[in-house]
Amino acid sequence: MSTELGSTASTEMSEWLVYGTVPSAWGGAVAYLATGAGPIVPVSVYGAGHYDNSVAVTWDSTSGVASNDNPIQFDLLTSEEVQYVVVDDVYPPDDLVSDPWLLIDVTAPLPTPDQGDTVFIDAGDLSVAPSGVAGVTLSAYAADKLCDWIAGAAAPFGSRYAALLDTTGTEVVGGSYARQAITVGSPVAPRDLWRTLPSVTVRYLAVFDALTVGNEILRVQLGGDLVVPIDDGVSIVYVAATVEGAA
Tell me the pLDDT of the chain (247 aa) as tens digits. 677 888 888 888 888 888 888 888 888 888 887 776 655 554 433 333 333 467 888 999 988 899 989 888 876 566 667 777 888 887 754 455 567 888 888 766 666 555 556 777 889 888 888 876 777 889 999 999 989 998 988 877 788 999 999 999 999 999 889 998 887 665 545 566 788 888 899 999 999 999 999 999 999 998 889 888 755 667 776 554 444 444 4
Residues near 194 by Cβ (< 8 Å), separated by ≥ 6?
A: 164, 176, 177, 180, 234, 235, 236
72/121 same-domain check: yes
Domain endpoint, select from 74, 108, 135: 135
14/41 same-domain check: yes
Q: Parallel, antiparallel, or unpaired for β 30-34 and 2-5?
A: unpaired
Domain endpoint, select from 70, 105, 135: 135
Q: What total number of domains does the chain contain?
A: 2
61/29 same-domain check: yes
* Cα 243 to Cα 52: distance, rounded to the nearest angstrom: 38
pTM for this predicted structure: 0.79
Structural domain range at position 32: 2-135
* Cα 28 to Cα 21: distance, rounded to the nearest angstrom: 20
* Cα 133 to Cα 41: distance, rounded to the nearest angstrom: 34
91/190 same-domain check: no
Of 205, 217, 239, whose CA–CA distance to 159 is shortest?
217
178/109 same-domain check: no
Of 3, 41, 44, 18, whose CA–CA distance to 161 is shortest?
18
Structural domain includes residue 144 = no
108/174 same-domain check: no
Domain endpoint, select from 135, 164, 198: 135
171/56 same-domain check: no
